[in-house]
């Protein structure tokens, strides 16, 4: 165990942010921390980094933080540099201060050992050399060059002063320094912000191969899927650990919730059945022992709680465009875009209902294209035109910085004065502005809240063509999933820019890619595009190995991959479902009224009735044992980890419970009291 928090809690004044937190970092784990905006993810990172302390509590529980040795913890802070007059190279190479000092000491020891073979010098050199190698001392210069290049800096940038870089570039410089310092525990808060797709792809491989622990807070689901092997979810102020990547976490959480719900419903049904029996027979002298037994059975049950509801509160808008557009919604022919010089040239045709994702490196012209299409920039050449009856709804990144001293209600109503108050409140409520939130000042809203307000206005205009520039910035994962659901159901056309590859994968049916100085259109989605890139890269490497120049595959190559059925083979022999092979005992046919039969013999019929009751009581006891056995198997870890077996076993429980109910009804109707 490298690091552990036990029963931790963090409070700021009277507000509890985290409580009952149990968190572990084991060896070289890559851990994701996920949850809604404001749930305490960044607070947890600060707690690990030592910037926040555990709150004291009046409790008998052990509350502590434990560390194995003295692990070095690296945390990417968003504050300014101590000295922004330093060059980028000087700042980044601070990461190697220990290595450079060790290198100098090793060189001194080599000289000393050459002069006189001192045992102490040899011993110190060996220890230093081991540490030097562990910290990457023989490869740090090469790694420095790779990291700088991959983060988008040129050789000329190395000598520029820190003050000359933008805020986003300064963040990347701080990021480079921290990566190269190689801490034992690397804490990353939204590391993919300000990075383009190519850089994110490189970072995924870097972190996957990083031979130390990493803890990541990120809303980039594809990044988490490709990097992490453990997920902690913070929900309702506490954290739950799930093995696997993000997709595995989503599936496991769903299965756990469904299992707990089924277990809860099954137990509640059993309690109701037992209580019904007690109520029926509690006043019958011959059944006192039986009713006491059933009450004890209820009392000794380990009660199962109903599962907590998912914290899935998010916005939604189920709307249809006010009118339909024509089939050809956009045509661009050799459209040159840029400011003082062309950044790119675009030729594109978009049809009604088509959803085109625009991806590419930072600064390649993606947002510039959208600004040109919406009239904010003049084209530098070529032409473009929208089709008839095309009604545009445009979201731009700057909307997250919108300022106003109006309230949310005033601001929205001012744009839609014809709406009634109830309609305004209802529409804003769909975007999570309800109750008191509508009276918040615009200037007091977070970036995510401003994005929601902007989308509420855009969708209220009922456009049939959406142009969206990075709409998922400032959104948590649930918010992204909500927007994805809306856009999937949206019957209109969409043209959007996004660095969120998962979002692009879910929405885009075709891609416009700014790559290698050109703009290419691909008539397929992101998964096929990624497969094409991988295939092209493999062919390039193969050709280089053969001494031939690399050649990329043509755009139209069919690279679709069909999924295979990986359903696990059902367990055999002693598996729980084996119990379902034998037909369950059917409930006996109810006894007929003896008075309706000829040759009625009261004594003989009474003896037959008693035998039948004895038989019923035996069947009831057997069925109760069978049900108890099934319920015991449900608690076995091997069953709980096998969803297919779990479902089959719960079906057997339900069937046994229904058969038991039928037997009990017959027992009662047969005159048992």
List, as one string, the DSSP characters of 193-221. Answer: TT--HHHHHHHHHHHHH-SSEEEEE-S-H
Question: How far apart, in whole angstroms, are the C-alpha atoms of residue 8 and residue 234?
Answer: 13
Residue 657 has a pLDDT of 77
* C-alpha dist (Å) from residue 488 to 132, 354, 506: 53, 11, 8
The three-point CA angle 521-523-529 to 5° equals 80
Statement to judge: residues 370 and 492 lie in one domain:
yes
Neighbour tally for 254: CB within 10 Å = 11
User: 46 — phi, psi (to 5°)?
Assistant: -65, -35
In DSSP terms, 234 is beta-bridged to 239
Q: What is the pLDDT of residue 581?
A: 43
Last residue of a domain, one of 490, 524, 558: 524
Torsion, Cα of 80, 86, 92, 98 (10° steps)? -110
Query: Which tokens in the block code for residue 337?
Result: 């875009």
Say if 254 falls within a structural domain: yes
399 φ/ψ angles, rounded to the nearest 5 degrees: -65, -20
Cβ pair 247, 47 in contact under 8 A: no
Query: Which parts of the chain have pLDDT scores under 50?
Result: 550-598, 673
Same domain as 406, residue 456:
yes
pLDDT of residue 564: 35
State whether 477 and 380 are in the same domain: yes
| Percentages of the chain per state (helix, strand, coil), in multiples of 5 | 50, 15, 35
Residues 225 and 265 in one domain: no
Half-sphere exposure of 233 (CA within 13 A, CB side): 20
Residues 195 and 293 in one domain: no
Segment (H or E) for 33: strand 30-34
Edge-to-edge strand list for the sheet holding 342-351: 342-351, 328-338, 381-386
Is residue 520 domain-shared with residue 632, that is, in the same domain?
Answer: no
pTM exceeds 0.75, yes or no = no
Sign of CA dihedral 283, 288, 292, 298: negative
Query: Which of 196, 198, 178 has its CA nearest to residue 187?
Result: 178
Contact call for residues 454 and 402 (beta carbons, < 8 A): yes
| Cα separation, 30 vs 250, whole angstroms | 17
Task: Answer yes or no: is 172 within a domain.
Answer: no
* Tokens standing for residue 59: 């409790």
CA distance 601 to 614: 20
**Does residue 388 share a domain with residue 488?**
yes
Cα distances from 29 to residues 1, 32, 66, 209, in angstroms, run 10, 10, 17, 11
Residues 200 and 233 in one domain: yes
Q: What is the pLDDT of residue 60?
A: 59
Question: Is the residue at 403 inside a domain?
Answer: yes
- Domain identity same for 255 and 192: no
Indicate the residue among 244, 260, 289 that finishes a domain.
Answer: 244
Distance, in Å, from the CA atom of 6 to the CA atom of 21, rounded to the nearest integer, reads 6
First to last CA, the chain: 63
Q: Quote the CA–CA distance of 552 and 550 in Å, as a whole number.
A: 7
3-state secondary structure of 322: coil
The owner of tokens 């006189």 is 116
Q: How far is CA 536 from CA 201, 532, 541, 552, 557, in A?
A: 16, 6, 9, 5, 11
SS3 161: strand
Q: Residue 353 falls within a domain, yes or no?
A: yes
In a domain, 296, yes or no: yes
pLDDT tens digits for range 401-451: 888 999 999 999 999 999 999 999 999 998 888 888 899 999 988 888 899
For residue 86, being part of any structural domain is answered with: no
Angle at the Cα of 134 (from 83 to 171), degrees rounded to 5?
Answer: 30
Strand partners, 346: 335
Helix-helix angle 447-460:477-489, to 10 degrees: 10
365 shares its domain with 462: yes
Q: What is the CATH number of the domain that holds 237?
A: 3.40.50.300
What range defines the domain where residue 438 resides? Answer: 328-524
- pLDDT for 461 equals 94
Same-domain check for residues 393 and 275: no
- Asked if residue 82 belongs to a domain, the reply is no
Whole-number Å distance between alpha carbons of 144 and 179: 10
- Using the 3D structure, point to which of 244, 259, 279 is the last residue of a domain: 244
Give the rounded distance of the alpha carbon of 225 from its chain centre. Answer: 8
Claim to verify: residue 376 and residue 489 sit in the same structural domain: yes
Pair of tokens at residue 599 = 């040759």
Tokens of 273: 């059945």
**190 part of a folded domain:** yes
Rounded Cα distance, 229 and 115, in Å = 51
Count of domains in the chain?
4
Q: Is 647 exposed, middle or buried (0-12, 13-18, 19+ CB in 10 A)?
A: middle
């Amino acid at each position: 165990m490298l690091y552990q928090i036990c029963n931790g809690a963090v409070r700021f004044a009277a507000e509890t942010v985290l409580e009952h937190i149990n968190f572990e970092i084991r060896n070289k784990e890559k851990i994701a921390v996920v949850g809604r905006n404001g749930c305490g993810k960044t607070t947890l990172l600060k707690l690990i980094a030592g910037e926040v302390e555990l709150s004291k509590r009046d409790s008998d529980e052990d509350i502590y933080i434990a560390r194995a040795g003295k692990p070095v913890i690296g945390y990417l802070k968003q504050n300014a540099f101590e000295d922004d007059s330093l060059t980028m190279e000087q700042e980044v190479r601070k990461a190697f201060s220990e290595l450079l000092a060790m290198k100098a000491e090793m060189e001194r020891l080599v000289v000393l050992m050459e002069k006189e073979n001192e045992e102490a010098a040899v011993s110190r050199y060996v220890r230093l050399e081991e540490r030097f190698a562990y910290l990457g001392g023989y490869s740090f210069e090469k790694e420095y060059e790779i990291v700088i290049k991959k983060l988008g800096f040129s050789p000329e940038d190395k000598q520029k002063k820190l003050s000359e870089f933008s805020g986003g570039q300064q963040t990347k410089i701080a990021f480079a320094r921290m990566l190269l310092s190689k801490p034992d525990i690397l804490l990353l808060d939204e590391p993919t912000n300000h990075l383009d797709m190519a850089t994110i792809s490189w970072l995924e491989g870097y972190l996957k191969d990083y031979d130390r622990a990493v803890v990541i807070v990120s809303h980039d689901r594809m990044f988490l899927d490709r990097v992490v092997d453990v997920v902690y979810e913070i929900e309702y102020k506490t954290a739950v650990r799930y093995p696997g990547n993000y997709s595995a976490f989503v599936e496991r959480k769903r299965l756990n919730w469904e299992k707990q719900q089924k277990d809860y419903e099954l137990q509640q049904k059993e309690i109701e059945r037992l209580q019904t029996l007690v109520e029926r027979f509690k006043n019958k002298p011959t059944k006192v022992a039986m009713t006491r037994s059933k009450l004890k059975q209820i009392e000794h049950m380990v009660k199962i709680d109903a599962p907590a509801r998912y914290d899935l509160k998010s916005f939604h808008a189920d709307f249809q465009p006010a009118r339909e557009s024509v089939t050809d919604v956009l045509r661009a022919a050799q459209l040159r875009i840029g400011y003082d010089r062309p950044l790119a040239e675009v030729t594109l045709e978009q049809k009604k209902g088509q959803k085109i994702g625009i991806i590419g490196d930072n600064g390649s012209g993606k947002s510039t294209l959208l600004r040109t299409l919406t009239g904010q920039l003049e084209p530098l050449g070529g032409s473009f035109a929208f089709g008839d009856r095309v009604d545009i709804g445009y979201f731009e990144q700057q909307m997250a910085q919108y300022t106003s001293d109006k309230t949310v209600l005033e601001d929205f109503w001012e744009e839609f004065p014809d709406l009634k108050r109830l309609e305004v409140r209802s529409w804003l409520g769909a975007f999570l502005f309800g109750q008191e939130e509508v009276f918040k000042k615009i200037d007091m809203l977070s970036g995510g809240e401003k994005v929601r307000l902007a989308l509420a206005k855009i969708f209220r205009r009922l456009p049939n063509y959406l142009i969206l520039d990075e709409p998922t910035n400032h959104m948590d994962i649930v918010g992204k999933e909500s927007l994805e659901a809306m856009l999937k159901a949206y019957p209109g056309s969409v043209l959007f820019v996004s660095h969120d590859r998962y979002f692009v994968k879910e929405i885009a049916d075709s891609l416009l890619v700014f790559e290698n100085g050109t703009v290419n259109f691909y008539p397929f989605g992101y998964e096929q595009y990624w497969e094409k890139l991988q295939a092209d890269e493999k062919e390039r490497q193969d050709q280089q190995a053969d001494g031939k120049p690399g050649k990329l595959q043509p755009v139209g190559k069919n690279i679709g991959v069909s999924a295979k059925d990986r359903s696990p083979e059902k367990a055999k022999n002693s598996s729980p479902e084996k119990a379902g092979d034998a037909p369950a005992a059917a409930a006996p046919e109810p006894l007929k009224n003896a008075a309706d039969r000829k040759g009625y013999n009261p004594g003989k019929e009474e003896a037959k009735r008693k035998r039948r009751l004895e038989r019923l009581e035996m069947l009831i006891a057997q069925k109760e044992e069978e049900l108890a056995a099934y319920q015991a198997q449900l608690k076995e870890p091997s069953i709980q980890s096998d969803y297919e077996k779990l479902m089959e076993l719960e079906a057997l429980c339900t069937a046994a419970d229904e058969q038991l109910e039928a037997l009990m009804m017959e027992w009662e109707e047969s005159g048992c009291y």
